[in-house]
């Protein structure tokens, strides 16, 4: 064909084994060619089989490591939330309550330094129990502030028609 006259459709496909198949078809004549490109580097079938076997063999250990990591992440999130709450509303606590929260915080940090997921979860739960009265006081204070200066009639109308219609 003359230059520019050919209309070629090229398609590429990669299969699960990493083999690249390139197909080309000239649209006007219908002539097609296909070639498979096999990598000459990388992993052999034996290497892939070994990796798959190792992944199955270590699945339980991997799962335990994931659960430990998730427990540590959740504990860290809880500590950050507690720190933010203490920075904002720490005045709601007396010295004894603050000391208990600080102790619970220290126990959780010590547990997080270790590798025992159950210990981390137990320390996080204990800290949550210790901080529950503080959280309740914070909520009460927030509700009081939200309702401050609002008349009973306005509240009743909001309850009767929450959409404000």
* pLDDT at residue 163, rounded to an integer: 66
- Cα dist from 95 to 85, 91, 92, 98, 100, whole Å: 16, 10, 10, 5, 9
Q: Are 53 and 98 in contact (CB under 8 A)?
A: no
* pLDDT at residue 165, rounded to an integer: 61
* pLDDT at residue 164, rounded to an integer: 60
Q: What secondary structure does DSSP assign to 93-148, as a single string?
A: S-HHHHHHHHHHHHHHHHHHHSS-HHHHHHHHHHHHHHHHHHHHHHHHHHHHHHHT
Domains of the chain, residue spans: 8-38, 63-142
pTM of the model: 0.61
Question: Could you confirm whether domain 63-142 is CATH 1.20.1270.10?
Answer: yes
* pLDDT at residue 96, rounded to an integer: 95
Q: Are 20 and 13 in contact (CB under 8 A)?
A: yes
pLDDT along the chain (165 residues), means of 10: 76 82 90 84 78 88 93 94 94 94 96 96 96 94 84 76 65
* pLDDT at residue 98, rounded to an integer: 95
């Amino acid at each position: 064909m003359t230059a520019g006259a050919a209309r070629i459709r090229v398609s590429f496909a990669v299969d699960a084994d990493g083999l690249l198949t390139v197909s080309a078809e000239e649209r006007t004549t219908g002539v097609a060619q296909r070639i498979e490109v096999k990598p000459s580097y990388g992993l052999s079938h034996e290497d892939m089989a070994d990796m798959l076997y190792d992944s199955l063999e270590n699945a339980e250990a991997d799962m335990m490591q994931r659960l430990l990591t998730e427990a540590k992440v959740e504990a860290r999130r809880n500590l950050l939330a507690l720190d933010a709450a203490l920075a904002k509303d720490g005045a709601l606590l007396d010295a004894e309550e603050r000391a208990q929260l600080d102790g619970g915080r220290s126990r959780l940090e010590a547990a997080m330094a270790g590798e025992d997921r159950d210990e981390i979860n137990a320390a996080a739960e204990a800290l949550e129990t210790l901080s529950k009265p503080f959280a309740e006081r914070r909520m009460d204070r927030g509700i009081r502030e939200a309702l401050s200066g609002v008349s009973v009639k306005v509240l009743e109308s909001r309850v009767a028609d929450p959409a404000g219609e």
